[in-house]
Structure 1
Amino acid sequence: MTDIVIIHSKLGDATNHWYDWLRNNLQLEGYNVTLFDMADAYSKPLEAWVKTLDEQVNISKNDTYVITHGYGALAGLKYLELQDIDPIEGVFIISGFKEDAKDLDDNLSLDTESLDYENIRKKARQFYGLCAKDDKYVSYKETERLMEILKGTCKIKSHGGHFIDEDGFTTFITLQENIQKIMSK
């Protein structure tokens, strides 16, 4: 059975947007899903996210995929960097960005902690990015830049915003379908 870890963004918690919906749907399909939940996520530094990930997530096999969103991409990548694991199958990054991103919402403060992308690339066989040109929180160019350094693929949509409930994303059927298509290869 494939393990899946979902890491939410700073704009909410595990109960917002499409996270719980995706967990439930993937569990119904037979996947073992861990939905990370960080209380008061918006005010917490990266170090606290990684500590909470350590408490909630255990990657114990290669047949694992990680799905991240927004700031959750930074946390998920830092978490992977620090793990002593063989490469997992893949990482899906929705509206992600690097720690030195410039084209972000002004209210989002970034940590100064750097990530070792060469090490992170060794932790997953494949990286997949998804972003939208009309995202008001994270420029699609930041997700593209992240995918370039991870040597992953990036799909850029014209519309979708930040893929959150205010953009109409309380479910995310196309994400689920694409993830399952990749996982079944």
Structure 2
Amino acid sequence: MPKRVFIIHGWEGYPEEGWFPWLKKELEAKGYIVEVPSMPESEAPDIGKWVSFLAGVVKKADKDTFFVGHSIGCQAVLRYLQTVDAKIGGAVFVAGWVSLTPMATRTKEERKIVKPWFETPIDFDRIRKTTRNFVAVFSNNDPYVPLENAETYKNRLGARIIIEKDKGHFSGSDEVTKLPVVLKELLGMAKTK
């Protein structure tokens, strides 16, 4: 059965942003089926809508199913995985967060959007039962995601942590159009699952 990868963009993100097209092309060249769905209402992400939408896109997760999340897309993947009973191949989280810098929530509207994402608990114990293949990638100069988030991913999820240099928030505006570390980690997971 072919391996499937779902790349989930972040808040105000879109499928053609930054490094997503490059990663999709690289994986497809190696025989993977890759989907980069346009998540609903990305300007104001809602937990229920995003998790439900992702479940509809994935349909049935299995050991040949892999995920890549970016920013709030990491939370969407985590929250989806806590609803799944199946074993998956693995997940790579890029600039994932459970806390943000004040710069990320400057306005009242931004604080209103992220409040449910902060306050709704994540069942890390349940998520860990889906796979042992978790990697979390952070940047040393992300203006929105403090590096302390790496400890949460490591301690609560058992993720292997990778710190990249000077990648900002890994967005198109940071001119990150390729992210070889994600490709390398996914390919490694696919071989060892």
Aligned-partner Cα distance in 2 for 1:22–1:30: 13
Aligned-partner Cα distance in 1 for 2:12–2:145: 12
Partner residue in 2 for 1:162 = 169
The 8 Å contact of residues 95 and 140 in structure 1, kept in 2 or not, is answered as no
CA drift of 1:2 comes to 1.5
Q: Deviations over 1:43-79 (max 9, x none)?
A: 1211111111122112342122111110011111110
Partner residue in 2 for 1:184 = 191
Residues 152-161 or 138-147, more deviating: 138-147
CA drift of 1:25 comes to 1.9
Change over 3 Å in CA distance of 1:84–1:8 after alignment to 2: same
Partner residue in 2 for 1:116 = 123
Aligned-partner Cα distance in 1 for 2:167–2:148: 15
Aligned-partner Cα distance in 1 for 2:81–2:25: 24
Aligned-partner Cα distance in 2 for 1:170–1:11: 17
Paired AA for residue 170 in structure 2: F
The 8 Å contact of residues 142 and 169 in structure 2, kept in 1 or not, is answered as yes
Aligned-partner Cα distance in 2 for 1:174–1:102: 23
Q: Deviations over 1:12-45 (max 9, x none)?
A: 1112111122112211110111222214313121
Identify unmatched segments of 5+ residues in structure 2.
Answer: none
Does residue 84 (structure 1) correspond to residue 85 (structure 2)? The answer is yes
Q: 1:46-61 residue pairs with structure 2 within 5 A?
A: 46-61=47-62
Does residue 130 (structure 1) correspond to residue 128 (structure 2)? The answer is no
Change over 3 Å in CA distance of 1:168–1:137 after alignment to 2: same
TM-score (norm 2): 0.85
Does residue 150 (structure 1) correspond to residue 157 (structure 2)? The answer is yes
The 8 Å contact of residues 135 and 185 in structure 2, kept in 1 or not, is answered as no
The count of corresponding residues between Structure 1 and Structure 2 is 182
Partner residue in 1 for 2:41 = 40
Does residue 103 (structure 1) correspond to residue 110 (structure 2)? The answer is no
TM-score (norm 1): 0.89
Root-mean-square deviation over aligned CA pairs: 1.8
